Amino acid sequence: MTGDDLQELTRGALEEIAGASDPDQLELVRRKYMARHGGLITAGAAALATVDGDGRAELGRAFNLAKSTVQQALHTRQLELASGGRAADAEREWLDLSHPGAGLDRGHQHPVARLVREIEDIMARLGYESVRGPEIEDDLHNFQLLNMPPEHPARDTHDTFYLAGAEAAWLFRTHTSPVQMRTMLSGRPPFRIIVPGKVARRDNPDPTHIPVFHQVEGLCVDRGVTVGDLKGTLEYLLRALFGPERKVRLRASFFPYTEPSLEADVACGICQGSGCRSCLGKGWMEILGSGMVHPQVLRNGGVDPEQFSGFAFGMGPDRIAVLRYGLPDVRELYENDLRLLEQF
């Protein structure tokens, strides 16, 4: 057998391997060419012994190559047939991958819960611990300790729900600030806390009011805390929430439990400060009330105002959600329509 014969033989073997349409046929092909006794290629190799001279070594290498080529082809074809193989067979397993269908079967976080978490995480980076307090409060913690004695005019904006009957001494807290008092009364400064939670005011529901809503309160009490610290902290928080480029301004305000009191505005996201319909022409949106904790409030919390000072701030995640996600009506946040919730 010459080298050309061998090449011819190999080509024939590869064609037959490719043509085998099931494992049985393939086995027949294997036997025909590669059977230990009488296979066309194996037999040829055995006959090498009869050749001598220079050509023998070269022909030997050619036979080894032919054997391994055919062996490899048999193996590949065997795998192909086992996995359902040929192009025609694969085609039967055609799959439409253009459309992901129902999507990942996951649930969604409520936008307000998401914002609360975001605020907690931002403040955690500044060392604020997230704490909770009771939603049912007494007059002492909700008002009196916070510089709002009975009949105080500031109570006008804190129209309060009281419990009936035997529980008449209790009210639904009107802000998260009582947790400031509870924290100060139960420990020693420094304090750095962030307090999310539900609060309630007796406002009739309308597109911007809902009787039970959320607040997030922050409190920092330490030696030498300044208005500058309040400003820096609020700027960090608000830029982290609204974007690093967003303009933030602090202006004078009044709360009975802080002095000085400041209100923080961020530039309107739609007009960037020039005034438009959504900000009622003001160019700014009120986001949060804040101030330096009033010395009397510190004293009420068992903290010596001669040694310590602090700031507090409070914001409404519902309102921020309305602004951020463009909701026309705050009540939609609590309808729990899945079409809304699934956006988060």
Partner 1 sequence: MRVSRNWLGDFLELEDIAPVRIAELLTMSGTEVERTLDVGRGLDQVVVGEVVDLARVEGSDHLFLARVRGGDEEPQDVVCGAGNLFVGALVPWARPGTTLPSGLEIGRRKIRGVVSNGMLCAADEVGLGSDHEGILLLPPANAGAGLPLSDLYPEDTVYELEILSNRADCLSHWGVARELAAVLDRPLREPDLRPVASSGQPLLNSLTVEIEDESVCPFYRADGFGGIPDRAAPHWMQRRLQAVGQRSVSGIVDVANYVLLDVGQPLHTFDLERLQAGGGHIRLGVRQARAGDRLRCLDGVDRALDPATLLITAGDRATAIAGVIGGQDSAVHEGTRELVLEAASFAWTSVRSTSRRLGLRTEASSRFERLLAPQLAPVGALRFARLLTDEIGGTLRPGPVEAGRMPASAGPIRVAAASISSLLGVPLTPERTAAALRRLQFTVSSEGPDLEVIPPAVRTDVREPVDLVEEVGRIIGYQEVPGTIPVMRRAPRAGAATAPAARLAADLAIGAGYTECITGSLVPSDLVSPVRGLGTGRTDLALANPLSTQLGALRSSLLPGLLSSCQLNQARGRDRVRLFEQGRVFWRVDGARPEEPELLALVDQDVEPDPDGSAERLLHLLRVCQGLGERLSLGETEFRPAEHSGFHPFRCAEIWSGGQTWGVLGELSPKALAQLELRGRVVAAELRTDGWLVPGGRPSLAPALTRTPALVLDLAVTVPERALLGEALAAVHERAIPWLERIWLLDQYQGSQVLAGRKGWTFRLRLRDPERTLTGHDGEVTRQRVLTCLRERVAAELR
Interaction with partner 1 in 54-83: which residues (CB under 8 A)?
Answer: none
* Nearest CB to Zn ion, comparing residues 154 and 271: 271
Compute how many other C-beta atoms are within 10 angstroms of the C-beta atom of residue 208: 12
* Nearest CB to Zn ion, comparing residues 9 and 271: 271
* Nearest CB to partner 1, comparing residues 44 and 189: 189
Selected range binding Zn ion among 94-102, 166-174, 190-198, 268-276, rule: CB under 5 A: 268-276
Distance CA 217, CA 294 (A): 16
Question: Out of 6, 74, 184, 250, which residue is the one contacting partner 1 (CB under 8 A)?
Answer: 250
Q: Pick one of partner 1, Zn ion, none as the site partner of residue 231 (Cβ within 5 to 8 A by kind).
A: partner 1
* Window 12 to 51, contacts with partner 1 (CB under 8 A): none
**What letter does residue 283 receive in the DSSP assignment?**
S
Residue 57 phi/psi, 5-degree rounding, is -60, -45
Kindly state whether residue 190 participates in binding partner 1, applying the rule CB under 8 A: yes
Residue 292 phi/psi, 5-degree rounding, is -80, 130
Query: Least CB distance from residue 336 to partner 1, whole Å?
Result: 4
* Window 107 to 136, contacts with partner 1 (CB under 8 A): 107-110, 112-113, 117, 124, 126-130, 134-136
Kindly state whether residue 279 participates in binding Zn ion, applying the rule CB under 5 A: yes
Kindly state whether residue 276 participates in binding Zn ion, applying the rule CB under 5 A: yes
* Nearest CB to Zn ion, comparing residues 79 and 280: 280
Compute how many other C-beta atoms are within 10 angstroms of the C-beta atom of residue 313: 23
* Nearest CB to partner 1, comparing residues 30 and 294: 294
Q: Pick one of Zn ion, partner 1, none as the site partner of residue 276 (Cβ within 5 to 8 A by kind).
A: Zn ion
Kindly state whether residue 168 participates in binding partner 1, applying the rule CB under 8 A: yes
- Sheet architecture: strand order including 212-222: 129-130, 191-200, 212-222, 309-315, 284-293, 258-267, 248-255
Selected range binding partner 1 among 14-22, 41-49, 178-186, 246-254, rule: CB under 8 A: 246-254
Our CA angle for 153, 156, 161, nearest 5°, is 135
Characterize 115-138 residue by residue with b for buried, 16 or more Cβ atoms within 10 angstroms of its Cβ, and e for exposed. bbeebbebbeeeebebbebeeebe
Kindly state whether residue 285 participates in binding Zn ion, applying the rule CB under 5 A: no
**What's the half-sphere exposure (Cβ side, CA atoms, 13 Å) at 173?**
23
* Nearest CB to Zn ion, comparing residues 151 and 245: 245
* Nearest CB to Zn ion, comparing residues 115 and 279: 279
Using a 10 angstrom Cβ sphere, with 0-12 exposed, 13-18 middle and 19 or more buried, the burial of residue 277 is exposed
* Window 287 to 316, contacts with Zn ion (CB under 5 A): none
* Window 196 to 235, contacts with partner 1 (CB under 8 A): 198, 200, 202, 204-205, 211-212, 220, 222-229, 231-233, 235
Kindly state whether residue 146 participates in binding Zn ion, applying the rule CB under 5 A: no
Residue 265 phi/psi, 5-degree rounding, is -115, 150
Residue 323 phi/psi, 5-degree rounding, is -70, -45
Amino acid at 220: C
Residues that bind Zn ion (CB under 5 A): 268, 270-271, 276, 279
